Amino acid sequence: MRRVREFPEAYGPRRLEGQRSDGRRIIAWERTYRFLTPLFGGGVEPRRADPVSVVRATEVRGQLRFWWRAVRGWQAGGSLERLWALEAALFGNAGEGGASPLQVEVRDAKVGERLSGEALLRKYAKTPHGQGLKYLIALAILGGETIDFLDGVEFTLQLRFPERVVLGEEELLIEEEIAAALWAWETFGGLGARTRRGFGAFRPEVEKKPRGEGEKVPQGEEIRQRLVRYSREGGWPEGVPHLTPKSLLGVFPLSWREVAEAYRSFRQMRRGGQERNRPGRSFWPEPDEVRRLTRRHAPRHAPQHPVRKFPRGQFGLPIIFHFKDEGDPSDSTLKPAEGDRLASPLLIRPLGERATLVAVLEGPRVPPGGVVLEAAGKTHRVRVDLTPEEANGIKPLSGETDPIRAFLKYLREQGGER
């Protein structure tokens, strides 16, 4: 592995290098971040902000571990055992008592404002494209729970690690490994919950630009070149979510709220209603298939859709189907047959005020045990994959069997690409 100084001077972590008692060089990077979007949760208790540590070093380490695996896991040559060994050498192995050579310190964390979900909706929902943000927040405040969002967060991060570590008879130069993980986290990830929909997104602080010069955000080609440098198409162990040079779907000159609105419109695409404030029936097949499986429907909602599958399950699970009309089914849940959730492969990540990245994590779209619908006290095995013929029968997909690729086409129609 080569050791490469990757970050440009004005955009890179400040280096504070030293030396260990055994003579090995210690590399220290320091960087300050500010959040672009509200931080959702992020504490020890799920979905809640930490009352003491706004940004926790343990969470940062976990994020770096995940994104290292997502861009550098190809080095395992398809072997899960080799992947775990490499990962443990860099980030530690708590199960076997192996300490990580990477030291993570979070300092000077600040919060601009602490908001409940309802307060966040009041703050943003009436802004342009606020309905898209409202859609993204909806699951967070489902059930009336008190959920913390933190707005205007800033923090300073310091990473310290030795120049090399030992793995068996190998010596690993790890600076490029940490650089790859840090870059992937800064570009595709975030902190807290629902980061794959843009919450908890941040950017590193850089030197102030001359008056009149726009903000510096990564462009699509720049990100693709980094993926070419750090990642590969092959070598990934089966089932490991990862990024390849083909994973970046685009960087769009749209705000996070505009992309969120496009996402909401795509996932809820329906016919025009015949009455005011009553939208028409969905173009997607799932509502009618729930009605068929439960044998319940409102008088005006007899199942009509020709496709009998649940393609929106490819956006992540679980999905709760809520019907409002009398006679329609009660709430029904689409979920993995084994376990509770399947994380969405779609990444919507703001990079700046009018720059939003859309990417896909490569990996299985269907959980190992398949997908089930829990409805009316019964469990039904269902499918989320589509044939080309079925995709032609779903208007939002326009013949595309992959709903995420179909969303990309829809988004390109909204605002071009950088």
| Torsion angles phi and psi, residue 279, rounded to 5 | -65, 155
Each of the 418 residues of the chain gets a pLDDT tens digit; together they read 444 444 444 445 555 556 554 557 899 999 999 999 999 876 666 666 666 678 999 999 999 999 999 999 999 999 999 999 999 999 988 766 578 899 999 998 888 888 877 787 777 766 766 778 878 877 555 554 556 788 889 999 999 999 988 887 888 889 999 999 999 999 999 999 889 999 999 999 864 444 444 567 888 899 999 999 999 999 999 999 999 999 999 999 999 989 999 999 999 999 876 565 667 899 999 999 999 999 999 999 999 999 999 999 999 999 999 998 999 999 999 999 998 889 999 999 999 989 999 999 998 889 989 999 999 999 999 999 999 999 999 999 999 999 999 999 999 887 666 5
Tally: H helices and E strands in the chain: 10, 18
Cβ neighbors of 416 (< 8 A, separation 6 or more) are: 252, 253
Classify residue 369 as exposed, middle or buried by CB count within 10 Å of its CB (0-12, 13-18, 19+): exposed
Looking at residue 10, what is its pLDDT?
A: 40
Looking at residue 11, what is its pLDDT?
A: 44
DSSP secondary-structure letter at 315? Answer: G
Residue type, 297: H
Q: Which of 416, 403, 264 is nearest to 355 (CA)?
A: 416
